[in-house]
Structures are given as C-alpha cells and as structure tokens.
Amino acid sequence: MLILLPPSETKAKPTSGRPLALDRLSFGSLTDYRDALLTEQLRTAPALAAGRLYTGVLYAALDLPSLPAAAARRFVIISAQFGAVRPSDRIPAYKRSIDAAHWRPLLTPELERAAGRGVLLDCRSAAYVAAWRPAGQQAEQTAHVAVVRERNGERTVVSHDAKKTRGQVARFVAESGERPANVHELATLVRRAFPCELAAPVRAGAPWQLTIVTR
C-alpha cells in the first residue's frame, strides 16, 4: 500500500551537506521537468532527506525519521518543486506553490505504477490532491482522510488539529506493518486506534472518505 502526503510549508534549513543529485531521486521520468524548475540557488544548496526536511505539524506527529525503513517506504510526498519524492530522497529547502495542472500528466503514470493494485491512504490537502487523482480501480482502493471535531453532537472541520491527526493516522498505519486488501480492511485497522467512519464515494471515480472523529 501507499500513503500519500502533502509537503509542509515549514522546512528544515540545512547549512551543510551535499547538494541535490537529480538523477538519484525517485520517479526518474520527472527529471527533465524538475531540472527546468531549478534555480541556481537550489542546485547548489545543501540537500536533506525529505523525511527530515519537512517539519510542519503533520510531519511532527508522523516523525518519519524514527520509522523503520520498511515502513518509511510506504510513503510518497507530493512536492510543488519536485513532483513526488520518497522520504529518503535528498532535496534542498524550497518555496513554491504547486501547479497541479502542469504536474498532473507527469505524475499520473508514475504514481499509477507505484500504487499498483494496493490500497492508498490519502492524507493530502486539496491543492495536492489535484496533482493526481486515482482513477478507476485505484480510486476504489483509495481512502482520503478527513478530520472532524465532535462536541455536544455537533461536528466541525478542524485545520491545525487535522494535520496532526493525519500524521498520527499515517504513522499508525505504516508502523502496523499490515497490508489491508481494500479500504474496508484499512478502516478496520485505523479503528484500532482512532474513532473513524468510512463513507462510500460521492460519485463514480471518486475515493472513499475515511473520517476521523476527534472529541
């Protein structure tokens, strides 16, 4: 299975170390487009493993560096600068808003191959979902994580806490080592640690929604 993550705006700022090596990044078909987006500053800046570079709320809760290598390999991070990277890919700190329309035709074949027939746990925010939407059978195998807070029977959407919860859910699933065969088995796994509800797709070709309910 794959766990899809957004990047974070906050990043570590390495002051030393080897610079980016484009030919060593995952998803090699993206190399030419990545190269076209690079500034001279990014070409020479120190690079850091993506799992350590991103330091936002989701990543603080997920704590990728402390996961076993086998668990970390389940993750793919969608990046405005590099398209898609694995946690072990070394990249420099950057600042760029994603252009989903430009990345979509490039990411689609790469991520379709990476996902295969497995389950997808989608923890991305809307801007990064737009860069690749699983279709067909892969959409049926996808659960997008939403988070709501319930107080006195009323539910509200949360923002900051949602990022933290997505990170916690992603870590729990990766660390479990289990390989759910479908979204129902994935929901059963998540329920061991988080109150959640699984809702069917709202239309054909859309993902399932896995709503985590915090109280």
Distance of alpha carbon 184 from alpha carbon 170, whole angstroms: 16
pLDDT of 153 reads 82
Distance of alpha carbon 208 from alpha carbon 118, whole angstroms: 14
pLDDT of 75 reads 98
The DSSP annotation for 78-114 comes to EETTTEEE-TT-EE--------HHHHHHHHHHHHHHH
pLDDT of 159 reads 73
Distance of alpha carbon 134 from alpha carbon 101, whole angstroms: 15
pLDDT of 152 reads 83
Give the mean pLDDT of 41-64. Answer: 98
Residue 20: pLDDT over 90: yes
Distance of alpha carbon 77 from alpha carbon 61, whole angstroms: 15
Structure tokens at 73: 């390999």
Q: How confident is the model over 60-115, as pLDDT tens digits?
A: 999 999 999 999 999 999 999 999 999 999 999 999 999 999 999 999 999 999 99
- CB neighbour list of residue 48: distance below 8 Å, 6 or more residues apart: 12, 14, 17, 90, 91, 92, 93
Q: How confident is the model over 116-149, as pLDDT tens digits?
A: 999 999 999 999 999 999 999 999 999 999 999 9
Q: How confident is the model over 180-213, as pLDDT tens digits?
A: 999 999 999 999 999 999 999 999 899 999 999 9
CA angle 160, 148, 10 (to 5 degrees): 20
- For 20, counting Cβ atoms within 10 Å of its Cβ (0-12 exposed, 13-18 middle, 19+ buried), the class is buried
Distance of alpha carbon 164 from alpha carbon 66, whole angstroms: 16
Nearest to 147 by CA among 55, 192, 62, 210: 210
